[in-house]
Amino acid sequence: MTSGILSPILILLSCICFSVNAVNAKDDNILQIATAANFNSTLQKISEKYHELHPDLEIKIIPGATANLYSQIINGALFDLFFSADAKHVDLLVEKNFATSNSSFVYASGRLCLLASSSKPTGINEKTLREKNFKFLAIAKPETAPYGFAAKEVLEKLALWDELKEKLVYAQDVGGVVSFVASGNVDSGFVALSQIISWKEKSGQNFWIVPQNLYSPIDQKVVALNGSKEKEAEKFLKFVKSSAVRNLIKESGYN
């Protein structure tokens, strides 16, 4: 009688164990990559090329503001790789033992641009900022997004930060800034050059590449996180270092 009751239970437990193992096995074929929003479209291209060489591996990309992704990582988010929009947050992860320095390197150096909506006249430049020839100006939040911090540096160096505060609209990341400008909700915004290059609506784009002496270098680091799928992460990073991918990154608007 007892064995008759236990048998279905044992069968059920066996099924549960099998299901858990199956999920774990499936997870082993997924590389989860957190990336700063500015690098999202470029990383998508890199991932597609990598997938052609490794069709059994699924790559899941999670874009966001660098500081927000960093916060998720230190609070237990299970990412394998982190493509930061700066060096600071990767260095902090190494310092706090969430990653090791031997997997870390600068994968790109970003360029900041001022992008105008399609309704704006041509010739956007520093003069546009000084004459305040716009209703709203979008930037990514300086405290969470390195490109937002760089935009603040530009406005401070031009002695315009205090004057323009009332015209500023903040986005979570530079991806949000592009959306604001594309929708026409703001006249212009500070974005990454890479986003302008990858933006599908290229006709009529009006932008100014900000001189690099107006902001600190945007050196972007990547790192493999502790507890990651080490072999797969290592192979992907090796691919990122290849000449073909380095050329792709350069063509995408990075130094």
Q: What is the pLDDT of residues 72-81, one digit of tens each?
A: 999 999 999 9
pLDDT band of 173, cuts 50, 70, 90: very high
- Give me the mean pLDDT over the 155-162 stretch: 97
Residue 9 shares a structural domain with residue 80: yes
- Count of CB atoms situated within 10 Å of the CB of 103: 19
Residue-level pLDDT at 121: 57
| pLDDT at residue 25 greater than cutoff 60 | no
Residue 166 shares a structural domain with residue 196: yes
Alpha helices (H) in the chain, listed in sequence order: 2-27, 40-53, 66-74, 88-95, 126-130, 146-157, 161-164, 174-183, 193-198, 230-240, 243-251
Is the CB of residue 38 less than 8 Å from the CB of residue 194? yes
- Identify the DSSP state of 167: G
| pLDDT at residue 153 greater than cutoff 60 | yes
Residue 168 shares a structural domain with residue 222: no
Residue 87 shares a structural domain with residue 147: no
Residue 118 shares a structural domain with residue 208: yes
- Phi/psi at 92 (5° precision): -65, -40
Q: How far apart are CA 170 and CA 137, in angstroms?
A: 9
Residue among 185, 183, 171, 128 nearest 38 (CA) = 171
| pLDDT at residue 150 greater than cutoff 90 | yes
Q: Which tokens sit at 68?
A: 């927000």
pLDDT winner (highest mean) among 13-27, 145-159, 196-210:
145-159
Residue 132 shares a structural domain with residue 188: yes
Residue 227 shares a structural domain with residue 149: no
Residue 203 shares a structural domain with residue 244: no
| pLDDT at residue 20 greater than cutoff 80 | no
pTM: 0.84
Residue-level pLDDT at 13: 39
Residue 105 shares a structural domain with residue 117: no
Residue 232 shares a structural domain with residue 205: no
The CATH number that applies at residue 183 is 3.40.190.10
- Give me the mean pLDDT over the 189-203 stretch: 81
Residue-level pLDDT at 165: 93
Q: How far apart are CA 85 and CA 78, in angstroms?
A: 19
Residue-level pLDDT at 204: 57
Report the number of distinct structural domains present in the chain. 2
Residue-level pLDDT at 180: 94
Residue 104 shares a structural domain with residue 223: yes
Domain containing residue 88? 2-109+218-251
Considering the chain, what is the average pLDDT of its residues? Answer: 88
Looking up tokens 């990858």 gives 198
Residue 123 shares a structural domain with residue 222: no
